[in-house]
Amino acid sequence: IIRRTWNHSSSTSFVLTSLFNESRMHLFLFSMVVVIYTLAMAGNTAMVLLIWADARLHTPMYFLLSQLSFLDIFFTSVTVPKMIAGFLFGWISISFGGCGAQMFFFMFLGATECILLALMAYDRYVAICNPLHYPLLMSRQTCLLLVAASWLGGSLNASIQTALTLQFPYCGSQKIAHFFCEVPSLLRLACADTAAYEQVLFVTGVVVLLVPIAFITTSYALILAAVLRMHSVEGRKKALATCSSHLAVVNLFYGPLVYTYMLPASYHSPGQDDVVSVFYTVLTPMLNPVIYSLRNKEVTGAMKKVIGKCGVGRTV
């Protein structure tokens, strides 16, 4: 059997299978995803503007939180609008270049967020365990350098993985069993041995996922030990509230990514990948601002202040 091989051609396009069909249940689920995406955009935009507008939130912790919200705005927008357009208008094809661009920005923003969450754990570790050195260790210049390093690391990871994935020849079916161009789903269409590259993918997963997880775990173990030694009950509650919020975000984000990028392909199925991907592409970006705002008195206080000003403005 002669199989037509195609690659590196501007005329080539893939077909993305929709996450939903036209049944009533799937229509309801699609509506839920649209609502969650809208809430994610609104919540993260509000968080960025709130931190920018309130001088009391101009601290390293909130600067990093604003970066997280900024990342989530674009991270969820890399995949969800295309999925919505595919369901509503039938625009399910994506060019070879468009697929590469979507893959690059997804991995770029995702890896950057992985590193940023580790930096947020480091910020909390310094604030709680070394409060006297906090102004020096987390100065504005240091924060800018750390954030720039996270963006650079994410860009490097995405560049390597995108280049390696797109260099494979693709043949036979052009249908990607996913609602966006993600590396594991695209590799299933390659008509070449991808075993060596899957090992490279595993190594990059260790660097981008497991190393930050180990760093976060160590940071919070030291934080917990310091919190238990605190004499102030109020200080202990505040530290635990902030740290528990961050840990909740970490578990929601890292868990599904570890499943997708660290487990062998034999443990995956297209249906499972779709469901798991929804967690880190839609659900987590929506929950991040909710988790941080509900468990944080400074953020809720700033929100009440803004709402109060809006209320006064309407009555005047």
- Quick one: which of 8, 110, 49 has its CA closest to 303? 49
Higher pLDDT, 114 or 279: 114
| β-sheet with 93-95: strand ranges across | 93-95, 13-16, 175-176
State how far the Cα of 258 lies from the Cα of 216, in Å rounded to an integer: 15
**Would you place residue 4 in the very low, low, confident or very high pLDDT band (cuts 50, 70, 90)?**
very low
Give the model's pLDDT for residue 246.
72
Lowest mean pLDDT among 28-37, 137-146, 213-222, 236-245: 236-245
Average pLDDT estimate for 14-29: 79
Give the model's pLDDT for residue 7.
45
Hey, is 239 helix, strand or coil?
A: helix
Place of tokens 């690059």: 104
Q: What is the pLDDT of residues 31-73, one digit of tens each?
A: 988 999 999 999 999 889 888 888 888 889 889 989 999 999 9
Average pLDDT estimate for 240-267: 76
- Quick one: which of 31, 7, 114, 32 has its CA closest to 71? 114
DSSP code for 132? G
- Quick one: which of 5, 13, 72, 84 has its CA closest to 41? 72
pLDDT for 144 beyond 90: yes
DSSP code for 11? T
Residues 6+ apart with CB under 8 A from 233: none
Higher pLDDT, 12 or 124: 124
Helix boundaries (H) for 167-283: 183-187, 195-205, 211-228, 233-262, 270-278
What is the H or E stretch that residue 290 is in?
helix 284-294
Give the model's pLDDT for residue 209.
87
Place of tokens 């674009």: 74
Region label for 8, one of left (φ > 0), alpha (ψ between -120 and 50) or beta (otherwise): left
Q: Per residue in 74-102, is it b (16+ CB within 10 Å) or e — as a string?
A: ebbbbbbebbbebbeeeebebebeebbeb
Lowest mean pLDDT among 87-91, 132-136, 269-273, 275-279: 269-273
Give the model's pLDDT for residue 153.
93
> What is the amino acid identity at position 71?
L
pLDDT for 113 beyond 80: yes
Beta bridge partners of 170: 6, 190
How many residues appear in the chain?
316
Confidence (pTM): 0.84
Q: What is the pLDDT of residues 237-246, one digit of tens each?
A: 767 776 777 7
Top-confidence range, 94-108, 219-233, 288-302: 94-108
Q: What is the pLDDT of residues 74-96, one digit of tens each?
A: 999 999 998 888 888 888 888 88
**Would you place residue 3 in the very low, low, confident or very high pLDDT band (cuts 50, 70, 90)?**
very low
Give the model's pLDDT for residue 11.
46
Beta bridge partners of 15: 93, 175
pLDDT for 149 beyond 90: yes
Average pLDDT, the chain: 82
In the chain, the percentage of residues whose pLDDT exceeds 70 is 86
Give the model's pLDDT for residue 70.
93
**Would you place residue 6 in the very low, low, confident or very high pLDDT band (cuts 50, 70, 90)?**
very low
Hey, is 190 helix, strand or coil?
A: strand
Indicate if the alpha-carbon torsion angle 205, 43, 216, 151 is positive or negative: positive
Q: For residue 112, what are its two tokens?
A: 């950057």
Average pLDDT estimate for 119-130: 89
